[in-house]
Structure 1
Amino acid sequence: MGDERVPPGWPDVVRPAGAPGWERTAVTWLLDQCPADYRAYPALRNQPVALAWLALRHVTAQGQANAAARSAARAELREHLTPDALEGVLVALDREHARLLGVHRGVRLVGEALQGLRYVPRL
């Protein structure tokens, strides 16, 4: 985003905290980080702090599942995949790990902002 009002790692699609309509963009993005069925629950859509809390848990669980898969992939898939295919799976898992780290940071930052914490840039 390049906006000095947001911390590094703030999701590009979420407006800066305090800007008009920022909570709506935060809720939309947070819902994108959760299972699609969560959109059906008004209690989650209407309680952004609770949604952020839950989204953080989902992203954390995804990271744990990714770590377990990266740990087990070679041993469990080597008999079923060609070496090139297995390497492709491992690369995909590594890339997903990096993406999830960024999403985790973004969810945490948005959740903190929804709780009223505001980013103050360091000089």
Structure 2
Amino acid sequence: MSGSSYLPPGWPPQVRPPGTPGWERTATGYLLDCCPPEFRGYPVLRRHPVVLARFAARYVAGQCETAQDGLAEIRTGLPRSVPPEVVTEAVEAWLEQAAHLLRVRRSVRLVEDALRGKEFVAQL
């Protein structure tokens, strides 16, 4: 990879640009931060960033699904147990979390693509 200077929207700021010195180390750290702590205990994930990226992508995708399920559950299950304003606050919290997870999913996908050799080119 040539280390082009273009990084697509959603590229995580804590990961150096692909092709620059140490970029895979920063990618590995970022991906591990997106996963549960016990993933750090698997040597294969630390030694093979592409494998780690696939694990991270599946884990974050599962979190996205859980956020959507949680949102639906809050809307249908909580109104019988808490006041309407609490339901509204809970929905807002889930929506905020779901938006965050979508951003993380995109970032993980971009890092995985770069680890697999994709070069990013600015679209004019």
Q: TM-score by structure 1 length?
A: 0.93
Is the contact made by 2:5 and 2:17 (CA closer than 8 Å) also made in structure 1?
no
Aligned counterparts, 1:66-77, within 5 A:
66-77=67-78
Deviations 1:10-67 (A, max 9, x none): 0011110111111011000000111111111111111100000010001110011111
Counterpart position of 2:17: 16
Evaluate the alpha carbon distance shift between residue 84 and residue 122 of structure 1 in structure 2; reply closer, same or farther with a 3 A threshold. Answer: same
Counterpart position of 1:55: 56
The CA deviation at 1:122 is: 2.2
Aligned counterparts, 1:1-123, within 5 A:
4-123=5-124
Runs of at least 4 residues off by over 4 Å: none
The CA deviation at 1:72 is: 1.8
Evaluate the alpha carbon distance shift between residue 87 and residue 4 of structure 1 in structure 2; reply closer, same or farther with a 3 A threshold. Answer: farther
Deviations 1:58-95 (A, max 9, x none): 11100111111111212111122222221111001001
Is the contact made by 1:4 and 1:121 (CA closer than 8 Å) also made in structure 2?
no
Q: In structure 2, what is the Cα distance between the partners aligned to 1:122 and 1:70?
A: 35
Q: Please tell me the root mean square deviation across aligned C-alpha atoms, in Å.
A: 1.3
Q: Structure 2 regions of 5+ residues with no counterpart?
A: none
Q: TM-score by structure 2 length?
A: 0.92
